Amino acid sequence: MDNSLTTYIAIYGAILSSIAIIINILQYNHSKKEKELKFDFFSTKNKYYDINLKNMNSPYDPMTGSGGANTAHLYDITVKNLGSIDLYINEIYGVSKDDNNHYVLLEKNSISSLSKLDKKDNISIKPKSSKDFKLYFSKGSESFDLKSVIVIDGTARKIEKRV
């Protein structure tokens, strides 16, 4: 009787420890998934696309003050952070149908000078929120149609999405 009781206790202990190990593995996998970077992005034509394109392709008119622009804000890119941790963005750019890269430009100071988004800009997006970026095309472009958008996150993961 003493031997069978020891066997039952050993079986009971083995079952409990197996359950505890399974619970620990499930908790680890759940916490690991919570800390993954998850994001999505999409592009839309700027609502002033036609006007901006016209201003870029026409000479400067001193009477109206329009035209003569070297760049034009043609597309808006929205990046949504779907994860539960901050998302850092290193770079965003679009590829036009003529295979040229067109970069997101940021207003860097009160003078409103535009410059390319860079790693040191430290763009972060809080969990469950989004941020809009302005994609500019330059005057020398052959095509103003967007083929794809590329986002490089803070871990240097590069994701391309066809438009």
Structure token digits, residue 36? 């993954």
pLDDT recorded at residue 53: 82
DSSP string, 53-82: HHHHHS--BTTTTB---SEEEEEEEEEEE-
Range of weakest confidence among 28-37, 61-70, 78-87:
61-70
Prediction pTM value: 0.71
Q: How many domains does the chain have?
A: 2
Give the pLDDT mean for 136-157: 86
The residues, ordered by sequence, that sit 6+ positions from 137 with a Cβ below 8 Å of its Cβ are 56, 71, 72, 74, 96, 102, 144
- Parent domain of 17: 1-35
Mean pLDDT of the chain: 81
Task: Report how far residue 128's alpha carbon sits from residue 136's, in angstroms, rounded to the nearest whole number.
Answer: 27
pLDDT at 67: 56
User: Is the same domain home to 51 and 117?
Assistant: yes
The CATH number of whichever domain residue 110 belongs to comes to 2.60.40
What average pLDDT score do residues 117-139 get? 83
